[in-house]
Amino acid sequence: MPQILALTGNEAVAYAMKQINPDVVAAYPITPQTSMMQKFADFVAGGEVDSEMVLVESEHSAMSATLGAQAAGARSMTATSACGLALMFEILYIASSYRLPIVMPVVNRALSGPINIQGDHSDTMGVRDAGWIHIFSENAQEAYENTLQAIRIAEHPEVLTPVMVTLDGFIISHGVETVTIFDDDKAKKFVGEYKPRYTLLDTKKPLTLGALNFSDFYFEHKATQLEAFNKSAGVILDVGREFKKTFNSTECYEFFEAYKMDDAEFAVVVLGSTAGSVRMVVDDLRSRGVAAGMIKLRVFRPFPHEELAKALKGLKACAVMDRSIAYGGDGGPVHIEVRSALYGIHPAPMMCNYIYGLGGKPIEPEHILSVFDDLKEAVVKKSFKRRVGYLNLKE
């Protein structure tokens, strides 16, 4: 029977890892991820998993150990945050180019400097083109369920691509919520047994990893990798549908949740924990006769350009909220993607971008309400005060 427990987001993901029962887990502490691996270490110490837990000397080593174990045929996981993810940078690209289906929870946190240990999306946005699938979570329940699904997505024979499952630092990772933990046997059956297509230890099928590719084959290698990555879109939807049916889940496990978008005139595009606050503001505006809506992105890589354009094309105006900055770009990373998706769409909504919440800066309902006010004003005046603006920024 499912259990309803009071858990932090980090603990919820640790429970998912317990049910996945990976063969190898490499661990290195970093705030605010540390308590996730501490909880999983409890499961290891209690004999509740068969995992070989490897304590390494850095995050670079954690990803290196995970990569080596996965290449040898072991289902392998690790987890990190912020500067730890940045230290893994080199090995992230190697893992994806080797087509190793590693699943790594990432607790989103600001990058130095100045030093800041609180939540924003700068870390995973900084590695958005490393060849990993990116799945965002709104709350602890989603973080738990996304982690279970990520294994199936990554290990699909037509995908074989690593996955990052993200959860906002402290807001989700350390906030306590009621989380439904599914029956162990049912969860393990859904995840299934890992059956690697190739391993370094299979002497009947010799395999080379770490080969040198010059101009004669490198391009072909990357094009093949991208082809598999693009196939992940269909697999993400298939796994989500199977998950909902298996566990009778009410969560949205498509590329994004379209909340009250059927007749919306104004909408906000957001990802992560802020979606809960936006949903509340949308409900309040609807009660006052404003046709407000929300798109909560769940899958950032692969980015659902066509599906998102279809969902947004009927709006009068929309705003994209970014919890990170793309320095020198057209606003934040999500804004750049959404704006690109709408290119050539007629009629296209008026569009603006708001950077918010960097370094854990609070985002309150009144800030989100001001975004909708700006959208309505822009439609009347046919222009925005600022096409890229900030929320809750001290002048």
Given a cut of 90, whether residue 382 has pLDDT beyond it is yes
Given a cut of 90, whether residue 252 has pLDDT beyond it is no
Given a cut of 90, whether residue 319 has pLDDT beyond it is yes
- Judge if 3-193+204-247 and 256-390 fold alike in CATH terms: yes
In CATH terms, 3-193+204-247 corresponds, of 3.30.70.1350, 3.40.50.720, 3.40.50.970, 3.40.50.300, to: 3.40.50.970
Question: How confident is the model at residue 251, as a pLDDT?
Answer: 82
The mean pLDDT value for 92-115 works out to 97
Across the beta sheet with 52-55, the strand order is 52-55, 24-27, 76-77, 103-108, 163-168, 133-136, 299-301
pLDDT in tens, 342-373: 999 988 999 999 999 999 999 999 999 999 99
Given a cut of 90, whether residue 84 has pLDDT beyond it is yes
Q: What is the model's pTM?
A: 0.98
Given a cut of 90, whether residue 190 has pLDDT beyond it is yes
Given a cut of 90, whether residue 297 has pLDDT beyond it is yes
Share of the chain above pLDDT 70, in %: 100
Question: Class of the 256-390 domain?
Answer: alpha beta
* Residue spans per domain, the chain: 3-193+204-247, 256-390
The mean pLDDT value for 13-33 works out to 98
Share of the chain above pLDDT 90, in %: 96
Given a cut of 90, whether residue 130 has pLDDT beyond it is yes
Confidence of residue 197 (pLDDT cuts 50, 70, 90): confident
Confidence of residue 191 (pLDDT cuts 50, 70, 90): very high
254 compared with 208, residue with greater pLDDT = 254
Confidence of residue 249 (pLDDT cuts 50, 70, 90): confident
Q: Are 137 and 257 in contact (CB under 8 A)?
A: no
The mean pLDDT value for 119-129 works out to 98
Given a cut of 90, whether residue 108 has pLDDT beyond it is yes
Confidence of residue 140 (pLDDT cuts 50, 70, 90): very high
* Range scoring the smallest mean pLDDT among 5-9, 166-170, 210-214: 210-214
Given a cut of 90, whether residue 395 has pLDDT beyond it is no
